[in-house]
Amino acid sequence: MLTETNAPAKAGVSAAIAAAAKPDEQRPVKAGKRVVTGDITSKRMAWVVQIYAVRDNKDRAAFAELFAYFAPRVKSFLMKSGASPDLAEECAQEVMATLWNKAHQFDPTKASVSTWIFTIARNRKIDILRKQRRPEPEDLPWGPEPEPDQAEAIGLQQETEQLGQALATLPEAQRKLIERAYFGELSHSEIAAETGLPLGTIKSRIRLALDRLRHAMK
């Protein structure tokens, strides 16, 4: 969690994000093979930069990088959720096309790139696999915030990274249980209330952002 003291002042987001993703300069960004150097959070910030490149410049090279990394994982998630390989392939492509079309909706202070892509894939799964209508929470008017705060964005990417690491280091049985819940192999009554994950940090961050929003709207 970032504190008041180490949180840099609000800055132009493009410059700030670029600075945050700086370690990327050490590796050939456009090479097909990903050589990840620097700390892993910079990889997550690099994804943010790539989404901005898609949003601002319709950057096909940046999109190709996101595609190479995420499409095989989206497809895998959909297959584990019960889709045939063909359907999962088709849906994964649609999910990535949605990323292109909705890049302007991505907000790195509210979700990490992996989270955002997951929710698009999840929605597609409900539409296509489960063929249900998909009630969504009322949109919040995030109006008063002109530009996402870069410290908030970095903080959220870091916390999501930590969550991922915690998941990877859970005891096998426990991790499998969480995976099965997300693949739809468990009903809500079979899902354990205790996940063993260190939950709460991301929730607190989003909760604070909501409080600020409510305050700003008064």
Partner 1 sequence: MKNDMKQIKHHLTEPLLMGYAAGTLPEAFNVVVATHVSMCDDCRAALAEYEAVGGEVMLETDPVAIAEDALTATMAMIDAEKNTVTAAPKRKPSNIFPAPLQDYVSGDIDALKWRKVGGGVSQLVLKTSKDASVRLLRIPAGTAVPDHGHRGTELTLVLQGAFTDDDDRFGVGDVEVANEDLNHTPVAEVGVDCICLAATDAPLRFNSFLPRIAQRFVGI
CB atoms closer than 10 angstroms to residue 61: 12
Residues numbered 87-116 forming contacts with partner 1, rule: CB under 8 A: 88-89, 92-94, 96-97, 100-102, 110-112, 114-116
Distance of closest approach, residue 182 Cβ to partner 1, in angstroms: 4
d(CA 178, CA 187): 12
User: Where in 113-172 is the site for partner 1 (CB under 8 A)?
Assistant: 114-119, 121-123, 125-126, 130-139, 160, 163-164, 167-168
Q: With helix as H, strand as E and coil as C, how does 127-151 read?
A: HHHHCCCCCCCCCCCCCCCCCCCHH
Report in angstroms how near the CB of residue 49 gets to partner 1 at its nearest.
18
Shortest distance, CB of residue 195 to partner 1, whole angstroms? 7
One of 142, 179, 196, 212 touching partner 1 (CB under 8 A): 179
Indicate the DSSP class of residue 6. Answer: T
Element (H, E) at 159: helix 150-168
149: phi then psi, degrees, rounded to nearest 5: -75, 130
CB 160 within 8 A of CB 47: no
Quote the least distance from Cβ 6 to partner 1, whole Å: 22
What distance in Å separates the CA atoms of residue 185 and residue 80, rounded to the nearest whole number? 9
Looking only at residues 188 through 217 of this chain, which bind partner 1 when binding is defined by CB under 8 A? 188-189, 191-195, 197, 199-200, 202-204, 206-207, 210-211, 214
Could you tell me where the DSSP H helices lie in 36-128?
Answer: 40-57, 60-80, 85-101, 113-124
Which CB sits closer to partner 1, 2 or 79? 79
Please give the DSSP secondary-structure letter assigned to residue 22. Answer: G
Nearer to partner 1 (CB atom), residue 22 or residue 207: 207
Q: Which residue lies nearer to partner 1 by CB, 26 or 204?
A: 204
Angle, CA of 62, 89 and 85, to the nearest 5°: 145
Binders of partner 1 among 28-57, rule CB under 8 A? Answer: none
With CB under 8 A as the contact rule, the residue among 85, 144, 147, 216 that binds partner 1 is 85
The piece of 17-25, 28-36, 86-94, 147-155 that touches partner 1 (CB under 8 A) is: 86-94
